[in-house]
Amino acid sequence: MTMTKTRDIPSRLNALLCAGIICAVAFQLFLMPLVLRGHLWAMFLIVALGVFLNTPFWSLIHEAIHKNFNANGKTNDWTGRFMSVLFGASFEILRFGHLSHHRFNRDWESEYYDPRKRRKIIVAADHYFKMLGGLYLTEVVTSFLIAILPLSLAKKAARALIASDMHYNSIASTLLKPEKLVRVRIDCVWIIIVYAASLSFFGPNWPVLAFLIAGRAVTISLMDNAYHYGTPSDNSVMAKELKTPMLFSRFILHFNHHDTHHHNPGLPWAQLSKAHAARGGEYHEDLIPALLAQFKGPIKIDADQKIAEAAE
């Protein structure tokens, strides 16, 4: 596993990219409804064109989660929290969820099912919900549930919802701590302030704001799931390396080098392309086919079959 050196973190470039994303989000949330008041379809068009910015937006938050946004730890975390508020979820929830994804890769995400144990309709509903916005919405809802519930009740709820002792202990020992609960609550207060203010700016044009949030939910969930759909649940392949034009790869902060990232989670985004080449430069498939493949839905497998064979 690659160790990160502070000089490898492109702090200034990250700050510049962050400023650009924040300006774009602030424009959509506050300035656009004022400038284009009465021009509903123009606002819808701008939001639709800007939906792709959600990918680098999440990539920057992702860098902060791995402490790769800024060499200064406090600056890294505070900027991560600020971006997460605009993103609509608490930084602590996003960080816990993503680091758990690394630790328990595929445990909660498998689209494979044994028809003798699980009904396809249930698995399909779960798969398409997560893929078409559910991943993002779960992060938002979890943020507010954790913020609202008293700590003791939050632990009881987690215990009731999570069967695995290993997963529950991970939540109890990291996320459900008083100091983190305070940060989640503060983040959620600011999220309410930001989006309530934005709603007041939109007024009767509030469907545009709903469309903005829905576009973010679908984009984030669809892209994130594409890197793992069809990979073996035994974790022999942690994620997919997806081929995309270099310009777009840079636009999404080389998130397409996802298997490289999973093998080197401490490596800043600017180093992923070089690390990918050092590993042989091979890709599993192109990005667009990988995105479309998810719509095939759950993958049926018999109990005595190997997971890897089901994806062929």
Please, which residues have CB within 8 angstroms of residue 185's CB and are 6 or more apart in sequence?
A: 147
Q: List pLDDT tens digits, range 186-197.
A: 999 999 999 999
Q: Please report, for the chain, the start and end positions of each structural domain, with discontinuous segments joined by +.
A: 6-310
Q: List pLDDT tens digits, range 41-93.
A: 999 999 999 999 999 999 999 999 999 999 999 999 999 999 999 999 999 99
pLDDT the model gives residue 5 = 47
Average of per-residue pLDDT across 111-137: 89
CB 188 within 8 A of CB 90: yes
Q: List pLDDT tens digits, range 218-230.
A: 999 999 989 999 8
| Residue at token pair 């701590």 | 177
Whether the per-residue pLDDT at 286 is higher than 80: the answer is yes
pLDDT the model gives residue 307 = 43
Average of per-residue pLDDT across 110-129: 86
Closest to 230 in 3D by CA, of 112, 59, 94, 105: 112
pLDDT the model gives residue 71 = 93
Q: List pLDDT tens digits, range 168-214.
A: 777 777 777 888 889 999 999 999 999 999 999 999 999 999 999 99
Whether the per-residue pLDDT at 304 is higher than 70: the answer is no
Confidence of residue 116 (pLDDT cuts 50, 70, 90): confident
Distance CA 208, CA 104 (A): 37
